[in-house]
């Protein structure tokens, strides 16, 4: 059974860097795509970005200048770093597996974001 578990600081001060980890069990981060989504009352569900198993990232342009998504294959983790946070970054952050072959695979498949973590709440406040 595939499980995703987000972890992070909970509270971050404005202008500081938010770092989150998604621990993956039951699957390898070297397969599939790995996504981050956040949810706030103001913006609803907001797609943050994804990283492919081959290390390609696609990031939301609204966050791109502050955002890094990376894989740690030795720990089987996906990480998110968001710099210069403000109150607008207060949200529940989810990681999710995207079962997708990509556009150019000979054997195309897509099953959506089929496994989600339970989410971790991040509050930006001094």
Of the ranges 12-20, 22-30, 69-77, 109-117, which one interacts with other proteins (CB under 8 A)?
109-117
**Do 92 and 38 form a contact (C-beta atoms < 8 A)?**
yes
Looking up tokens 């993956």 gives 24
Residue 110 or 123 having the CB closest to other proteins? 110
Site string for other proteins, 20-59 (x = CB under 8 A): -----------------x------xxxx-x--------xx
92 token code pair: 């529940």
Site string for other proteins, 68-97 (x = CB under 8 A): --------------------------x---
Which stretches of 41-109 are assigned E, i.e. beta strand? Answer: 44-52, 57-59, 67-72, 77-82, 91-100
- Note whether 7 binds other proteins by CB under 8 A: no
Binding-site member from 61, 65, 106, 126 for other proteins (CB under 8 A)? 61
73 token code pair: 């294959």
Q: Is 65 helix (H, G, I), strand (E, B) or coil?
A: helix
Measured between alpha carbons, how far is 11 from 87 in angstroms, rounded to an integer? 11
Residues of the shown chain interacting with other proteins in the complex, contacts defined by CB under 8 A: 37, 44-47, 49, 58-62, 94, 108, 110-114, 116-119
């Amino acid at each position: 059974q595939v499980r995703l578990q987000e972890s992070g600081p909970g509270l971050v001060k404005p202008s500081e860097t938010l770092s989150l980890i998604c621990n993956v069990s039951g699957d390898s981060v070297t397969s599939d795509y790995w996504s981050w989504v956040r949810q706030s009352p103001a913006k609803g569900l907001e797609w943050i970005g994804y990283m492919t198993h081959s290390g390609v990232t696609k990031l939301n342009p609204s966050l791109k200048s502050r955002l890094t998504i990376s894989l740690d294959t030795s720990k089987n983790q996906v990480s998110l770093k968001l710099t210069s946070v403000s109150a607008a970054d207060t949200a529940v952050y989810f990681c999710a597996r995207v079962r997708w072959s990509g556009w150019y695979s000979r054997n195309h498949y897509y099953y959506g974001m089929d496994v989600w973590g339970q989410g971790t709440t991040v509050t930006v406040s001094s």
